[in-house]
C-alpha cells in the first residue's frame, strides 16, 4: 500500500490510537509465563507523538527526521502481526509522499536497534531487548561496519534513541493534528524535488 496524500497519512496516524505493536497481546503487557513485559507500554499513537516530540527537541531544524519518528511504526497498522516486516511496510508506504530520506530513516529504525544491541548489548532498556531476536538479533561485526558506512546511520540511531525513549505511559506529547502542517511541508518539498518517481 502506498500513501498518496497527507490526509490519508493523518487518518492512519489517528487510527494508531488504541493500536499496539503487538496486536495479539494488546493490554496484558506481561508475559504469561514469567511476568516479562512484551511489546511497548504505550499505544502507537502516544509512541508516535513522543518519538516525534523528542526529535523536535533534539533536532529542531530537521523536519524530515521528526516526521520519520512520527510515522516509523505505522507498519504495525498496515500489516498487523508482521513485526519483522513493519519497518519495510512503513517505508514503502510513505516513500511516494514524504520522499527518499524519510523512507530510508523509517526503514533503518529496526537495523539501528540491531546496531545499538551490538554496540552496547546492555545499554538498551529491558523492553527493547525482547524485540531484536524477532527482527534479526544483534548485528554481526560485518553488518555493523556496513551500517556505520550508511550516510544516514547517525540520523537513524538518533531516531532509534528517541524511539526507545518515547514509551512513557501517561506522558502527553502534543496533539496529532499539530503535525499536519509539518507533514504537508515535508510532502511539498519532496514533491518539488521530484526525488521519487
The set of cell numbers assigned to 51 is 518519538
Least Å distance between CB 194 and Fe ion? Answer: 29
CB 78 within 8 A of CB 1: yes
Residue 104 CB, nearest approach to Fe ion (Å): 15
Question: 131 or 190, CB closer to Fe ion?
Answer: 131
- Smallest distance, Fe ion to C-beta of residue 88, A: 11
92 or 163: CB nearest Fe ion: 163
Spatial separation of the C-alpha atoms in residues 115 and 118, rounded to whole Å = 5
Grid cell in block for residue 64 = 524530515
Report the greatest alpha carbon distance in the chain.
Answer: 53
38: phi then psi, degrees, rounded to nearest 5? -120, 145
3-state secondary structure of 99: coil
Of 41, 56, 61, the residue nearest 168 (C-alpha): 41
Residues in contact with Fe ion by CB under 5 A are 73, 163
Nearer of residues 89 and 101 to Fe ion, judged by Cβ: 89
- Cell numbers given for 176: 496529532
Q: In the complex with Fe ion, which residue's Cβ is closer, 64 or 73?
A: 73
Nearest-approach distance from CB 151 to Fe ion, in angstroms:
21
Amino acid at each position: 500500500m502506498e500513501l498518496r496524500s497527507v490526509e490519508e497519512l493523518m487518518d492512519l496516524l489517528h487510527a494508531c490510537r488504541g493500536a499496539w505493536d503487538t496486536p495479539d497481546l494488546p493490554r496484558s503487557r506481561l508475559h504469561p509465563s514469567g511476568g516479562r513485559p512484551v511489546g511497548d507500554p504505550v499505544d502507537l499513537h502516544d509512541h508516535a507523538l513522543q518519538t516525534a516530540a523528542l526529535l523536535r527537541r533534539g533536532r529542531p531544524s530537521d523536519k524530515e527526521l521528526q516526521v520519520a519518528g512520527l510515522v516509523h511504526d505505522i507498519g504495525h497498522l498496515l500489516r498487523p502481526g508482521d513485526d519483522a516486516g513493519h519497518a519495510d511496510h512503513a517505508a514503502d508506504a510513505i516513500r511516494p509522499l514524504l520522499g527518499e530520506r524519510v523512507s530510508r530513516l523509517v526503514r533503518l529504525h529496526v537495523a539501528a536497534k540491531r546496531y545499538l544491541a551490538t554496540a552496547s548489548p546492555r545499554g538498551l532498556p529491558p523492553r527493547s531487548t525482547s524485540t531484536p531476536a524477532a527482527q534479526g538479533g544483534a548485528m554481526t561485526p560485518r553488518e555493523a561496519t556496513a551500517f556505520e558506512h550508511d550516510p544516514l546511520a547517525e540520523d537513524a540511531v538518533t531516531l532509534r534513541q528517541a524511539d526507545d525513549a518515547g514509551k512513557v505511559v501517561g506522558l502527553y506529547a502534543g496533539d496529532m493534528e499539530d503535525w499536519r502542517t509539518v507533514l504537508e511541508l515535508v510532502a511539498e518539498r519532496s514533491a518539488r524535488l521530484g526525488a521519487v518517481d
